[in-house]
Amino acid sequence: MGAKQGDRLYAQLSYEQVVRQYAQSVSSVCMIRLQNWADAEDCFQNTFIKLFRKSPDFKDQNHLRAWLLRVAINECKNYIRDNRRHLSLDTALEIPAPCAEDDADLSWALMKLAPDYRDVVYLYYVEQMKVREIADILGKNQNTVKTLLSRGREKLRQIYGGDGR
């Protein structure tokens, strides 16, 4: 009866409502991953176009959210693979990313992390997802996610110059 339940979810939420409800999460994942607003917008749009075209059935809101984030991350990976630019990492890190002033420090630090760490730390702390959910979205083992999270935290401490206390 999963399809019927998914139908009910769509009956409750219009496509426009889904976009409004999850726009911040999807755009943040794309921006953190790509570090370029124009590229992030492309992947954001592609994510919601896939939702519109495929109209998959979802068990509940958490399943919908996880699907959108997984698709957004995959869109970003595909975008990076298909649109490699001849830009050094040092140059890319110097390009400022637009973000709210309150989030500037965290966004800056996240952008300094490698993509695997960045995804895990972002999903855990900003999206407040559980390790199991992150593992499902990223297609990784839960222990791998825990390791990436631990190492990501350590790298953030190094970036901020903290001693871990």
Q: State the DSSP string of 129-155.
A: --HHHHHHHHT--HHHHHHHHHHHHHH
CB-based burial, 132-162: b 16+ in 10 Å, e otherwise: ebbbbbbebeeebbbebbebbbebbeeeeee
Q: Which residue has the higher pLDDT, 93 or 161?
A: 161
pTM metric for this prediction = 0.65
pLDDT at site 88: 47
Model pLDDT, residue 80: 87
Specify whether the CB–CB gap between 25 and 68 falls below 8 A.
yes
CA angle, residues 97, 99, 101, in degrees to nearest 5: 125
* pLDDT at residue 141, rounded to an integer: 94
Q: Is the pLDDT of residue 95 over 90?
A: no
pLDDT value, residue 102:
42
With a cut of 70, say whether residue 152 has pLDDT above it. yes
Contact 103, 5 (CB under 8 A): no
Instruction: Check if the beta carbon of residue 149 is closer than 8 Å to that of residue 120.
Output: yes
* CA–CA dist 48, 46 (Å, integer): 6
Whole-angstrom Cα distance, residue 1 to residue 21?
A: 25
pLDDT of 98 > 80? The answer is no
- Residue pair 151/117 in contact (Cβ under 8 Å)? The answer is yes
Closest by Cα among 101, 113, 93 to 160: 113
pLDDT tens across 107-135, in order? 777 778 888 898 899 888 888 889 999 99
Which pLDDT band, with edges at 50, 70 and 90, does 165 fall under? very low
Give how far the C-alpha of residue 93 lies from the chain's centroid of Cα atoms, to the nearest Å: 19
Band (162; pLDDT cuts 50, 70, 90): low
Contact between residue 15 and residue 68 where contact means Cβ atoms under 8 Å apart: no
Q: What is the pLDDT of residue 48?
A: 94
What is the chain's mean pLDDT, rounded?
A: 79
Instruction: Give the model confidence (pLDDT) of 58-69 as tens digits.
Output: 888 888 999 999
